[in-house]
Amino acid sequence: MLQYVVRRLILTLPVLLGILLISFMLTHISGDPTDLILAPDTPDEARELFRQKHGLDQPVWVQFYQFCVHALQGDFGDSLRFNQPAVTLVLERLGATTELAATAMLLAILIGIPAGVVAAYRRNTPTDATVRAVTLMGQAVPSFYLGILTIIIFAVWLRWLPSGGRGTWAHLILPASTLALNLVALIARTTRSCMLDVLNQDYIRTARAKGLGESWIVWGHALRNAFIPVLTVIGLQVGLLMGGVVVTETVFSWPGVGRLAIQAIYARDYPVVQAVVLFFAVIFVGVNLIVDLLYAVLDPRIGYR
Amino acid sequence: MKKIIRKLLLTSMLSVATLAGASAATLTVAQNFDPQTLWPNGTTASDNLNAGSAIVEALFWVDPHGEEFKPLLATSYELEDPKTILVKLRDGVQFSNGEAMNADAVIHSFNIFVDKEKSPAYARVSDPFDSIEKVDDLTVRMTLKYPFPPIELALSQLYITPPGYWNEVGLEAYGQKPIGTGPFVFDSWARDDRLVMKANDKYWGKLPEGIDEVVWKPVPDDIARAAGLTTGEYDIASNLAVTSAMEVKDNPEVDLVPVPSYRIYQIILSSLEEHESPLIDKKVRQALNYAVDKQAIIDSLFFGNAVALNGQVLRKPQIGFNPDLSDYPYDPDKARALLAEAGYPDGFEITFKFPSGRYAQDREVSEAVAGMLSEVGVKADMVALEPGEFLRQLRAKELQPMAFVGLAPQDDPDLQVAQYHSTWRYSYIKNAELDALIDAGKQEMDREKRVQIYKDAMALMHEEAPIIFLYGGVDFYGTSAKLSNFMARGDGRFFLYDTALSE
Amino acid sequence: MTSTTTLSQESHDDLPPRRSQSRIVFARLLSKPAAVFGMVIVVMLVACALVPDLIAPHDPYAQSLIRRLKPPSFLDRGVEGYWLGTDHLGRDTLSRIIHGARTTLLVSLFAVIVSAVAGIWAGLAAGFFGGRTDAVILRLIDMQLAFPVVLLVIAIVAVVGPSLTNLIILMGLSAWPRFARIVRGSVLSVRGLEYIEAARSIGAGKLRIMLRHILPNILSAIIVYASFELARMILLEATLSFLGLGVQPPTPTWGGMINDGKNYLSISWAVSLFPGIAIALIILAFNLLGDELRDALDPQLSHD
């Protein structure tokens, strides 16, 4: 098991390195941050000093070399806008994003899996159709629009919930549900189809023949087996979740990494963008590693090869 | 299950209520962005300055009420000659850490202000300053490299920091936890979430009434900012969208404060030879001015909340505003006639660049203008630019032949018109006569003569039509009805000095 | 992923001739109300995309600042002939939705094609050749999945300019790994099967085996997946519009219309609501169709 984990970790190294390389190239071809950070009427002398200070006057390959040397030591440089280490800026906001993303994921799983199970069990009945239509609607509305609608309805009209920001758990409800709704449909649909597969398997028939209770068969037996592919899908959605966080955090003024990322991208704040991209990648890779490890727990037939 | 949901909702309502209740003496301000630094000379972004200058004060300030130049940490200044300024400082002022605000503190702050590496954002106004000397503990003498007519503007941007604390922590840390002389002192800051300041009980002047605490919150989404204002979560919401403003207007719990902005919206019509296009012909540029119905844009897209330019880039209260000029009337027939005269009876096709998401309603205005131009046969191929790329192209002189921009230099006619000087990095016009007028105005210390120079420059620009004169913007602030005497400046700056929060 | 597990279990030793299979599938679809509903919506979309001028009551670009922000004609203040009201520039919302169908469909369809083609080749190569090729492609997949799409789009659009083609390619590139994964999984599951071995033993080239023997067998999985992906692309275009990176105005797309209209929610809700409904309907349709298609293609499930 340990050997497997080590091997997987070694395999992720080229991925992370590749991501660093691509993000460096992308940020550097997207324009000089000097234009965005200093007012357009700033005299050339001051601009040049700014560029020197941040090493922007160096040839790109020198910048890349410097970047790699420092990045290997965990130093992504100082943010061009905040004059603070980019890593610090990301770490400061990681808690907020984790809180939001984890709540959303939990919410999506708690709604999506039971919905999928029910839809599969009651396949081709009105229940099935309703469950599918309702969960799909969550995926059918762009999340920025959904977010704004919920603010107007629940904060402005009904005055039930705060319109944005982070604080009490009441602040968490709207952004987490907005983020979750996009995932519910996918999880529900995956669960449904995996359950359909499993419900047709011989061992389920055997279980029925043995006279096991129907609800035990569905929720215990079948779901346990259907859960593995569902887990994979959930793992892969972490990437999308990170993308969703960008929009949701902006709409709900949530002080997280996603909002930092989008503002850094717009300002061409290279060090911050690179740090965020790497963090997202690490989270993505980490979650998917955990998913693979969970496989073994859920299904002893899968070995570590 | 239902019961639980109801319970949850009830508790959440309670928590919202308690939040609102506890804010009796707390002023909550929602701006677009979290400050990057609270050291005001660190950036020129208004969101940073509004928060930072509640703690750190300048020598002078321009009061948004009546845009009057007023003393702050200085009591007066005197021009000994066009290149020498004597500044008298306020007696008995202390920084909140006990350091004295005196000539030494001003000299320390001056030296950072003029250092283009430390304060690059202020290089444009700090450039004229040469040196400073201490006359006595409360008097300093500043020397200029050349006469600089907008000297008051420069003096209002020199922020005074305590030398002891500054030297101890350094520039970066100072911006994260500043100490100043202002009405508020730094308390805590959770990034991108809330920045908390407490009233400075040792403040030298009069504290804003009824405000024990100020909380600054960054709320990037326009609709969310307006929503929080409506629900009473925020007492001040800056930079409201015009649509939100129209909604807030009818709400008795919220006051709408419209402030004419210094930003001048225009369509660049490049007449530079290297940017080959029909726009090189003056008649074509004038025709396009006739073809655009500015008033319709103001009345409809802005619900009347934008300011007509009167065919010039200086605003009515500015010196040099030319009262004899007025907007090109909306006259599509005349536009077509001029186009025909210039040899384009059937119009032409032209690239039209515009930013998407940089200015209020940028996309809408650009689409409306393109629609109006098509009426006279000019087909505009629209190219939307991401705001960052837009700014890059502006500076690189790539926003040609035609582009929508909103230029907001500082509040001075020279800083305003210098952008149309042929040597300016992003000038899209090259006119020797205009250059001469701009050069003359830059050095003229006599107010009367200065006025005339800029009036002439405006008349010339009107005739040459290097841009389509569109409109001046209006910034909207929403404030809780409990807050009184709030006012902001056209550059997005506001101060809490004379405001009062009632129960 | 999902569809892989479902579909790769098809038994391949007794494949019926393809044409009759597709007829059976179609017949099965027609017997499902959800599938019929999906098909009707898709047919309407395609009709709008093909001949918008015949269907739309007005010119979608005709502005009138006097007639702006009008509610639907069936409400108070509505203007006769403007059934779904007008937008912030006085353009007819219904006509823009109808014309927007073309761009919306064009962008999402081609983006899916780009990602499917790229993903299929990568997946085929990875699954078929295995070894080092497989490892490299898997790493590329991980990289792409872990990389924020928005950053990719901003950076590249800034350099190459925001044209329709560029947008299609970029959106397509963001989705290829999901196709590649499906294809790779399917290839792995059929690679060892008898008929592939047989083809190999009679000396068929690798390319030939991939194209003639493997691809047809996984095509249904790809089609099903593509129908989901199409829906996702429509949403991605909407999100890019929200970030100011979508299709150029004045060309209408549904996502762009929602984004423009959301600013007017408090004044005129209709501007963003109707394109929102259009998007919701079409995504619902694509997803239902995908679900039903999968069920119809899966012989195991057809028994009950």
Tally of CA atoms within 13 A in the half-sphere of A100 that contains its CB: 34
| CB-based contact B217 A253, cutoff 8 Å | yes
What share of chain A in percent tops pLDDT 70?
Answer: 97
Q: Given the DSSP bridges, would you call strands B467-480 and B307-308 parallel, antiparallel or unpaired?
A: antiparallel
Q: What is the model's pLDDT at position B365?
A: 94
Contacts of B218 in chain A (CB under 8 A): 253, 255
The tens digit of pLDDT for each residue in C251-280 reads 899 988 998 888 888 888 889 999 999 998
Residues of chain B in contact with residue A170, where contact means CB-CB under 8 angstroms, are 11-12, 15-16
Chain A CB within 8 Å of residue B154 CB: no
Q: Per residue in B154-210, pLDDT tens? A: 999 999 999 999 999 999 899 999 999 999 999 999 999 999 999 999 999 999 999
What is the per-residue pLDDT for C20?
Answer: 64
In this predicted structure, the answer to whether residue C304 has a pLDDT above a threshold of 50 is no
Instruction: Return the minimum-mean-pLDDT range out of B243-252, B292-301, B308-317.
Output: B243-252
Whole-number pLDDT of residue B262: 93
How far is the C-alpha of A66 from the C-alpha of A57, rounded, in Å?
13
Q: Is the peptide bond before C250 cis (omega within 30 degrees of 0)?
A: yes
> CA of A135: which chain C residue's CA is closest?
C284
pLDDT in the model for residue B21: 43
The strand order across the sheet containing B84-89 reads: B74-81, B84-89, B139-144, B129-136
Give the chain A residue whose CA is nearest to the CA of C230: A140
Inform me whether the C-beta atom of residue A242 falls under 8 Å from chain C C-beta atoms: yes
Q: pLDDT band at residue B109, thresholds of 50, 70 and 90?
A: very high
A88-92, B377-381, C130-134: least confident range: C130-134
Nearest CB partner across the interface for B224, out of A30, A46, A151: A151
State which amino acid sits at residue C90. Answer: G
Share of chain B above pLDDT 90, in %: 77
Count Cβ–Cβ pairs < 8 Å, chain B vs chain C: 68
pLDDT digits (tens, 9 = 90+) for B362-402: 988 999 999 999 999 999 999 888 888 888 888 889 998 99
Q: Is the pLDDT of residue A239 over 70?
A: yes
Is a pLDDT exceeding 90 seen at residue C26? Answer: no
| Helix segments in B292-361, DSSP class H | 294-296, 332-341
pLDDT of residue A267: 84
State the average pLDDT over residues A46-71: 85
> Has residue A253 got a pLDDT over 80?
yes
Least confident range from A168-172, B356-360, C6-10: namely C6-10
A136 and A64 Cβ atoms separated by less than 8 Å? no
Mean per-residue pLDDT, B4-12 = 47
Q: Which range (A143-157, B48-62, B81-95) has the least confidence? A: A143-157
Which of B353, B367, B390 would you mutate first to test chain C, the one with the most C CBs within 10 A?
Answer: B367
- Is residue A287 scored above 60 in pLDDT? yes
Residue B2 has pLDDT above 50, yes or no: no
Angle between helices B447-464 and B432-443 (to 10 degrees): 160
The token pair at B413 is: 């006619």
Inform me whether the pLDDT recorded for C300 exceeds 60.
no
Pair of tokens at residue A162: 């705060």
Task: Inform me whether the pLDDT recorded for B4 exceeds 70.
Answer: no
CA dist., res. A126 & res. A136, Å (int): 15
The two tokens of residue C137 are 């492609």
**How far A47 CA sits from the closest chain C CA (Å)?**
22
Contacts of range C108-111, beta carbons closer than 8 Å, 24 or more positions apart: C108/C171, C108/C230, C108/C233, C108/C234, C108/C237, C109/C230, C110/C168, C110/C172, C111/C167, C111/C168, C111/C169, C111/C171, C111/C172, C111/C175, C111/C233, C111/C236
Mean pLDDT in residue range B441-461: 92
The answer to whether B244 contacts C262, with C-beta atoms less than 8 Å apart, is no
pLDDT higher than 50, residue A120? yes
B26 reaches A (C-beta below 8 A): no
pLDDT band at C19 (very low <50, low <70, confident <90, very high): low
Identify the closest residue of chain C to A128 by CA–CA distance: C34
pLDDT band at residue A22 under the 50/70/90 scheme: confident
Residue C211 has pLDDT above 80, yes or no: no
Nearest residue to B416 (alpha-carbon basis) of B493, B268, B327, B314: B314
**Residue B33 corresponds to which tokens in the numbers above?**
């962005």
pLDDT given for residue A300 in this prediction: 59
**pLDDT for residue A252:** 95
8-state DSSP, A78: B
Q: Which pLDDT tens digit goes with each residue over C86-111?
A: 998 899 999 999 999 999 999 999 99
Q: pLDDT value at position A106? A: 92
| Cα gap A226→B316, rounded to integer Å | 72
Give the model's pLDDT for residue A223: 79
Residue predicted with more confidence, A2 or B228: B228
C300 or B384: which leads in pLDDT: B384
Subunit contact C158:B367, Cβ cutoff 8 A = no
Asked if pLDDT for residue A103 goes beyond 90, the answer is: yes
Average pLDDT over residues B299-303: 91
B458 has a pLDDT exceeding 60: yes
Distant-in-sequence, close-in-space partners of B345: CB < 8 Å, separation ≥ 6: B339
Beta-carbon separation of B192 and A38 below 8 A: no
* B263 compared with A47, residue with greater pLDDT: B263
Tell me what pLDDT residue A45 has: 84
**Alpha-carbon distance B346 to nearest alpha carbon in chain A (angstroms):** 37
Among chain A residues, the shortest Cα distance to B44 is held by: A39
Q: Which residues of B touch C (CB under 8 A)?
A: 222-223, 241, 243-244, 246-247, 293, 296-297, 299-301, 356-357, 363-364, 366-368, 370-371, 382-389, 392
State the pTM of this model.
Answer: 0.87
Instruction: Give the DSSP per-residue string, C25-52.
Output: HHHHHHT-HHHHHHHHHHHHHHHHHH-H
Which residues on A lie below 8 Å from B231 (Cβ)?
155-156, 159, 162-163
pLDDT-above-70 percentage for chain C:
88
Q: Helix, strand or coil for residue B5? A: helix
Ranges A5-19, A237-251, B349-363, C66-80, most confident = B349-363
Q: Would you call B223 an interface residue with chain A, using a CB distance cutoff of 8 Å? A: yes
Tell me what pLDDT residue C299 has. 54
Residues 6+ apart with CB under 8 A from B234: B28, B29, B30, B217, B219, B225, B228, B478, B480
